[in-house]
Structure 1
Amino acid sequence: MTGQVVVATHGLTKRYGGVTAVDAVDLQVHAGDVYGFLGANGSGKTTTVRCLLGLVLATSGSIELLGRPMPASAASVLPRVGALVEGPAAYGHLSGRRNLVLHDASGRGERGPAGGGRRDRTARAQEVLELVGLGAVGKRPVRAYSLGMRQRLGLAAALLRRPDLLVLDEPTNGLDPQGIREIRGLLLALHAQGTTIFLSSHLLAEVEQVCTRIGLLDRGRLVLQEPLATLRAPTGRTVVVTPDPDLALTALDGQVEGRDGERLLVRVPDPAALNARLVEAGVRVAELGPERRTLEEVVEERTHARAGDEVPT
């Protein structure tokens, strides 16, 4: 399936009265992507996700999931999609495992796991509970779960039917740092197994560690859609970190394009020759390598916060 487009929107627009929450968005997610869908709170990310899943109707534009039009094909498409949007729903008096069994049973007849009997559903529920770190508390009533545990349960529900496409809206909400690391590891493992992941998040550091492509929404508009490797490619400048910045400035004679304390940005064609030149001039070099922009720097460059804007999410 690699290369096949599994999420596509064309001119996707959603208005609430006089407010445009999503403005002519053209998304393209390929099979095998871990697509990081970024944007500040109020940028329209959740509205876009709801439109993709048919939870709200777009004002205009078109949507395709797994090659089929949405929401017209929801009955055949959604059983192949695992989703976690805005926090999971669950019956508080039932155990986590029982909630998953009921959730699985409600989708039978469309695309359940192999076998499909009650025993199979119970075994699958326990399997995904183990995957998300809830194996030891699967029999505990959900009302006793913390916010982070409920979030894990929602992710388990999304994984029940071994989806071809996983759509996640802020999946690490409420998790502690260890929980975030565990979910990161799970997403990387799912990706390695061939699952396409659409991950809506505002956590740039996490997205940078798991995603292969980036889409950036700013006030409802898609302002960036590129492979992460392209965004983080070398800029053509070399970073030099030295405890002798003044001496380095003298030795490089106008080739330094930027300085931040002991960190210099130098424009040279040959970093090895640059290193030799610095050493010959008596400059101590603590670090030398190509400059790469962080995802945070890319986002700051492409977005311009506008005070007072309020757009529904």
Structure 2
Amino acid sequence: MIVTRALTKRFGRVTAVDGVGLDVGEGDRYGLLGPNGSGKTTLVRMLLGLVYATSGEIEVLGEPVPRRLGRVLPRVGALVEGPGAYRHLSGRANLRLLDAAGPGGARRDRRHRIEEALERVGLSGVDERPVRAYSLGMRQRLGLAAALLRRPRLLVLDEPTNGLDPQGIREIRDLLAELNADGTTILLCSHLLAEVEELCTRVGVMDRGRLVLQSDMAEIRSPTGQVAVRSPDADKAADLLDGRVEHRDGDRLLVRAADAAELNALLVTEGLRVTEIGVRRRSLEEVVLNLTGTGSDRLDREPQR
């Protein structure tokens, strides 16, 4: 669905995107992650033809971009850098204008498409108040409704849950999973790592313009070869497991072991109490923080000499 080869974008002396090879397959729920200033939004804007690459190649839905952009965009829904709207008009009026301006789509079906999109994002009961009276969460839902108007094959979203409360975040997550199950491929940029970890099947991590990781979520979350054990008898357990305890924090031990059940049987047979035990897996947050530096919006004071 999306392939880039050695994709690079420079703004003067600044390299915002540096030789990126992105690979988003059909049916993926792909999370594109990284700190502020890592190049995510610039990359997405190039995919949509909003910014031209300095060098490299882009294919979206099998078509070269930007050369065949006119054939690509009718099949792509996007919400990038916040929703845009005429603030003096209602949400429905904005969607009518957007639908009329877009290629394809029969006029007689316009009302149905608009009402269906509003219902899917939780705005079916919205009145005719102007968009300037909307909350941030309502504007975000309206932007997502605009992206869904043409039932896209590919959905490109930049922070789609910005401004939503926890219930709203869950609703959008469930909606994206439903759309994906119906055949829509999703490329999602987000800082909410827990949501990405729960929703996405593949992940790419950017840092300072480079794609430093691209992997299936299942591989990222594979067992580490360690078992976490919590026991009131931590001292005795540490002695029993001499050399296999790699870290200890109070009554919690991190043990080098492949089988949690086998380890539990050993401890219990020796008369030691076990209150919690499980195979340790890395979290997405741990992986991302280990791969990336500080964001570009951090300004630390230089140390005094």
Q: Same fold judged by TM-score > 0.5?
A: yes
Q: What amino acid sits opposite 2:32 in the alignment?
A: F
TM value normalised by structure 2: 0.94
For residues 293 and 110 of structure 2, the distance between their equivalents in structure 1, rounded to whole angstroms, comes to: 48
Match of 1:20 in 2: 15
1:8 corresponds to which of 3, 11, 15:
3
Cα distance change, pair 233–138 in 1 and its aligned pair in 2 (3 A):
farther
- Aligned residue among 71, 80, 83 for 2:78: 83
From the superposition, tell whether residues 75 and 205 of structure 1 become closer, same or farther in structure 2 (CA, over 3 Å).
same
- Structure 1 position 61, deviation (Å): 0.7
Identify the residue that residue 251 of structure 1 maps to in structure 2.
240
C-alpha separation in 2, matches of 1:37 and 1:273 = 38
Which one-letter code corresponds to 2:79 in the other structure? Answer: L
Equivalents in 1 of 2:279, 2:286: separation in Å? 16
**What residue identity is the alignment partner of 2:37?**
G
Deviation at 1:307, TM superposition (A): 7.7
2:225 to 232, 236, 250: 236
Q: Please state whether the residue corresponding to 2:141 is helix, strand or coil.
A: helix
Alpha-carbon distance between aligned partners in 2 of 1:55 and 1:86, rounded to the nearest angstrom = 12
Mapping of 1:69-218 within 5 angstroms?
Answer: 69-108=64-103, 111-112=104-105, 116-118=106-108, 120-218=109-207
Q: 1:269 to 1:203 in 2, by over 3 A?
A: closer
Question: RMSD of the TM alignment (CA)?
Answer: 1.6
Task: State the SS of the aligned residue for 1:135.
Answer: coil
Partner of 1:276: 265
Q: In 1, distance between residues paired with 2:233 and 2:164? A: 43
Report the Cα distance in structure 1 between the residues aligned to 2:82 and 2:244, rounded to whole angstroms.
Answer: 52
Does residue 1:298 correspond to 2:293, yes or no? Answer: no
- SS of residue matched to 1:57: coil
* Distance in 1 (alpha carbons) for counterparts of 2:13 and 2:24: 30
Deviation at 1:201, TM superposition (A): 1.1
**Secondary structure of the structure 1 residue equivalent to 2:150:** coil
Q: Find the residue that maps to 2:169 and give its secondary structure.
A: helix
User: Following TM superposition, by how much is the alpha carbon of 1:271 offset from its aligned partner in structure 2, in angstroms?
Assistant: 2.9
- TM-score, L = length of structure 1: 0.92
Q: Which runs of 5+ in 2 are unaligned?
A: 300-305
Report if the CA contact (8 A) 1:172-1:180 is conserved. yes
Q: Deviations over 1:261-313 (max 9, x none)?
A: 22211123443231122112222111222110000111122223388889xxx
Question: Does structure 1 conserve the Cα–Cα contact (< 8 Å) formed by 2:35 and 2:296?
Answer: no
Equivalent residue pairs, number: 299
SS of the residue corresponding to residue 137 of structure 1 reads: coil
Classify 1:136/1:57 alpha carbon distance in 2 versus 1 (closer, same or farther; 3 Å): same
The sequence identity of aligned pairs, in percent, is 66
Q: Match of 1:262, as an amino acid?
A: D
Whichever residue aligns with residue 136 of structure 2, its letter is: L
Deviations 1:111-134, CA, capped at 9 Å, x for gaps: 32xxx124x211210111111011
**Amino acid aligned to 1:95:** S
**Bigger mean CA deviation after superposition, 88-97 or 265-274:** 265-274
Give the Cα–Cα distance (whole angstroms) in 1 for the partners of residues 100 and 25 of structure 2. 30
Counterpart residue number, 1:39: 34
The 3 A distance-change label for structure 1 pair 155 and 289 is same
What are the residue-to-residue correspondences of 1:54-69 with 2, within 5 Å? 54-69=49-64
